[in-house]
Amino acid sequence: MKFFQTLPAAVLLSMAFSGQALAHAGHIGELAGHSHWVGVGALVVAGALAAIVGKLAQKDEEKEEVADAETAEEAA
């Protein structure tokens, strides 16, 4: 419950001191050869991995539904 009590203060503080965040995605092209490309690559890999895990989870759920349906048919 303490988390929800301190959340408004944290949000207000982060809004008050975030004036210097001036970078945007347009700067990525200017950073060729810098370590920022590693971060972009990591984001791409993380997105691809999340998509793969999501597909596998969906297939597992479908298999469980089919198995449950077969069990229900056998019981009837």
Domain ranges for the chain? 36-76
Q: Which two tokens stand for residue 2?
A: 């303490």
Cα gap 45→49, rounded to integer Å: 6
CA–CA distances in Å: residue 38 to residues 45, 50, 53? 10, 18, 22
DSSP 9-54: HHHHHHHHT-TT----GGGGGGGTTSTHHHHHHHHHHHHHHHHHHH
Q: Dihedrals φ, ψ of 41, to 5°?
A: -60, -40
pTM of the entire structure? 0.44
pLDDT in tens, 7-58: 888 888 877 776 655 666 666 566 556 666 777 888 899 999 999 999 988 8
pLDDT in tens, 29-39: 665 566 667 77
